[in-house]
C-alpha cells in the first residue's frame, strides 16, 4: 500500500461560500484563472495551495450547505479530490456532487477515526479507506447515487442509459 492521499479535515456546516466564495465564481474570474485554484481560498488557504489529486475531504454534518452554486463541487472535481466523507451532506450539494461524479460517503466511523493530515489510501473499488494501521469500510451510497457516480456523473448516466434514475 502507498498511503499517498492526504486527509483534509473540516468541521460541521461547511457552506458553499467557504468552498468557493461568490467573488470567485467562474464568471467573475479573468481569462486564464481557474475556479479550482480558489477552492477554500479563504476558509482553508493551505488546501487551495497544497491539495493534490486523490486527497480526501473529511467533514462533520451538513457539508456543502448554502447556495446551489455548482462551481463549489466543480472546483473540488477539477482538483481531482478522491472522495468526500462526511457525517451528512446538504441536499443540493449532495446532488450536485453526485451529478459531477464525485464519490461521497457518509461514515461516522471514518469521520471519528481520521484526522487532518493523515496519510491514507482510498480504495474505491472495495469501498474502504486504509491507513497504516486501520481499515475503515465506507457504507455505500443509495443505489441510484452509486449508479450515477459509477457512470461518471448524471450527464454520462443519461447519455448511457437514455433515462433518469427512477425512470422505467
Indicate which single residue of 144, 152, 160, 161 sits in contact with another protein (rule: CB under 8 A): 144
| Residue number, 96 or 107, with CB nearest to another protein | 96
99 binds another protein (CB under 8 A): yes
Stretch 63-82 residues interacting with another protein (CB under 8 A): 65-71, 73
The region of 20-28, 50-58, 78-86, 124-132 touching another protein under the rule CB under 8 A is 20-28
Helix (H) or strand (E) holding 130: strand 128-130
- Show the beta-strand stretches assigned E in 40-127: 56-59, 83-86, 104-106, 119-123
Considering the complex, what minimum distance in angstroms separates the CB of residue 82 from another protein?
A: 21
Candidate list 1, 2, 30, 117; residue touching another protein; CB under 8 A:
30
Query: In the set 53, 80, 112, 155, which binds another protein (CB under 8 A)?
Result: 155
Q: Which long-range contacts (CB under 8 A, 24 or more apart) does 13-17 make?
A: 13/60, 13/61, 13/62, 13/65, 14/43, 14/59, 14/60, 14/62, 14/63, 14/64, 14/65, 15/64, 15/65, 15/66, 15/67, 16/64, 16/65, 16/66, 16/67, 16/69, 16/72, 16/93, 17/66, 17/67
- The least CB distance from residue 28 to another protein, in Å, is 6
Residue numbers of the site for another protein (CB under 8 A)?
A: 13, 15, 17-18, 21-23, 25-30, 42-43, 61-62, 65-71, 73, 88, 90-92, 95-96, 99-100, 144, 153-155, 158-159, 163-167
Amino acid at each position: 500500500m502507498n498511503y499517498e492521499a492526504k486527509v483534509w479535515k473540516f468541521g460541521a456546516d461547511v457552506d458553499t461560500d467557504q468552498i468557493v466564495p461568490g467573488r470567485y465564481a467562474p464568471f467573475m474570474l479573468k481569462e486564464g484563472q481557474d475556479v479550482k485554484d480558489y477552492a477554500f481560498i479563504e476558509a482553508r488557504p493551505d488546501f487551495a495551495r497544497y491539495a493534490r489529486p486523490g486527497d480526501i475531504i473529511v467533514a462533520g454534518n451538513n457539508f456543502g450547505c448554502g447556495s446551489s452554486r455548482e462551481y463549489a463541487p466543480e472546483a473540488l472535481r477539477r482538483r481531482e479530490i478522491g472522495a468526500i466523507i462526511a457525517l451528512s451532506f446538504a441536499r443540493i450539494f449532495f446532488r450536485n456532487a453526485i451529478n459531477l461524479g464525485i464519490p461521497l460517503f457518509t461514515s461516522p466511523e471514518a469521520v471519528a477515526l481520521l484526522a487532518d493530515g493523515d496519510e491514507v489510501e482510498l480504495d474505491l473499488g472495495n469501498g474502504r479507506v486504509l491507513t497504516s494501521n486501520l481499515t475503515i469500510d465506507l457504507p455505500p451510497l443509495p443505489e441510484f447515487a452509486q449508479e450515477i457516480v459509477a457512470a461518471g456523473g448524471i450527464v454520462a448516466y443519461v447519455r448511457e442509459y437514455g433515462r433518469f434514475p427512477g425512470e422505467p
